[in-house]
Amino acid sequence: MERLMGMTLNELKEVTSKTSLPAYAAGQMADWLYQKKIRSIDEMTNIGAAKREQLKTHYEIGSRPPVKTTTSADSAVKYLFAVNDGAHFVESVYIPSRDRATLCVSSQAGCKMKCLFCMTGRQKFTVQLTANEMLNQIQSISESQGLDNVVFMGMGEPLDNVDELFKTLEILTSSYGYGWSPKRITVSTIGILPGLKRFLDESSCHLAVSLHSPFHEERLSLMPVEKVYPIRKIIDLIHGYNFSGQRRVSFEYILFDGVNDTERHAKELSRLLKGLECRVNLIRYHTLPGVNLRSCNELKMEYFRNMLNKLGVLATIRVSRGEDVFAACGMLSTVKNKKI
Ligand code: SF4
């Protein structure tokens, strides 16, 4: 059965031609799928009953509720979704705050990038998520209607799954789809250069880059991707785009005690980011067993932030959410869920 949710307007037009529906029915289907967010083809009441039956022989909506929900003491909610016909699992995290509600979405089950500080990186990569599976995380949770922002910062590297990511972004931002402003969406990457170039050229969603160290050797020891796509090349590319208007770029920087939290790091960061309108988000490291890295205490984090601010780099400390249910940054893993 093919899934309609996750199809772009052009793909829905192909469905209409295969089922001898008029071309305008593609727009009607998109409205049912992405505005009215229906769960069954029978709800498409402006498509004749016989045609709906015909559609149902090959297609379904493809909406799947989460298989598990875990609520953190600080009100973050971790959702577990089955993907790839139940063969694998991914997690999403709903993060409500005083002024907005954000959903952190996964793009892959596991990850190939093997960042030292990340639980997902320890989990073997198994499958790319389809646009259906990414949209389903947004559409099938009970808080869906009240979401203000979506961040592609969950499991996986979104720019290692560009085609399905771009379909998802198209559906979220097109008038035939959700009709969201790109300002409501942030894509986070460790810097896969070809995907990043395409993202910068074709999308106007916000960008977040995982930086974590301004020094090549040190970043390489934390993030193997540095060998292929060094941070300097990523920054050079970003310099070619305009971030002074609506579109924002931010840099994620997990602070590791005694590793990347010195004055030398702050100075090099300010050199690296010179001339870019950006923000650095400082993130507390959530300790992983067997990894020789420690988190910084609050005082050290504030000290590093102040150093950056004095050097002219806008830096803020990101409040950590969902740690008690392993939903915080770097903690997502579905390794234990194989037998659900
Ligand atoms: S930090 Fe992101 S890119 Fe790195 S291993 Fe984790 S999920 Fe993959």
pLDDT tens-digit map of 89-104: 999 999 999 999 999 9
- Is 91 a catalytic site residue? yes
Q: What is the pLDDT of residue 340?
A: 38
Distances in Å between the Cα of 305 and the Cα atoms of 178, 274, 296 are: 37, 16, 12
pTM for this predicted structure: 0.95
pLDDT, tens digit (0-9, with 9 covering 90-100), for 178-207: 999 999 999 999 999 999 999 999 999 999
The C-alpha angle 333, 339, 340, rounded to 5 degrees, equals 85
Average pLDDT score over residue span 303-330: 90
Copy the structure tokens of residue 133: 């599976």
pLDDT, tens digit (0-9, with 9 covering 90-100), for 150-171: 999 999 999 999 999 999 999 9
State the distance between the two ends of the chain, measured CA to CA, in whole angstroms. 23
Q: Which of 104, 111, 118, 329 is catalytic?
A: 329
Q: Count of CB atoms within 10 A of residue 40's CB?
A: 12
Please tell me if the CB atom of residue 226 comes closer than 6 angstroms to any atom of ligand 1. no
Atom 7 of ligand 1, nearest CA residue: 156
Q: What is the pLDDT of residue 338?
A: 55
- Is 111 a catalytic site residue? no
Whether the per-residue pLDDT at 326 is higher than 90: the answer is no
- The percentage of the chain sitting over the pLDDT mark of 90, rounded to a whole number, equals 90
Closest-lying ligand 1 atom to the alpha carbon of residue 121: 5
- Lowest mean pLDDT segment, chosen from 28-37, 120-129, 263-272: 120-129
Ligand 1 pocket test target in 90, 93, 120 with most atoms within 8 Å of CB: 120
Could you give phi then psi for residue 26, rounded to 5 degrees?
Answer: -65, -45
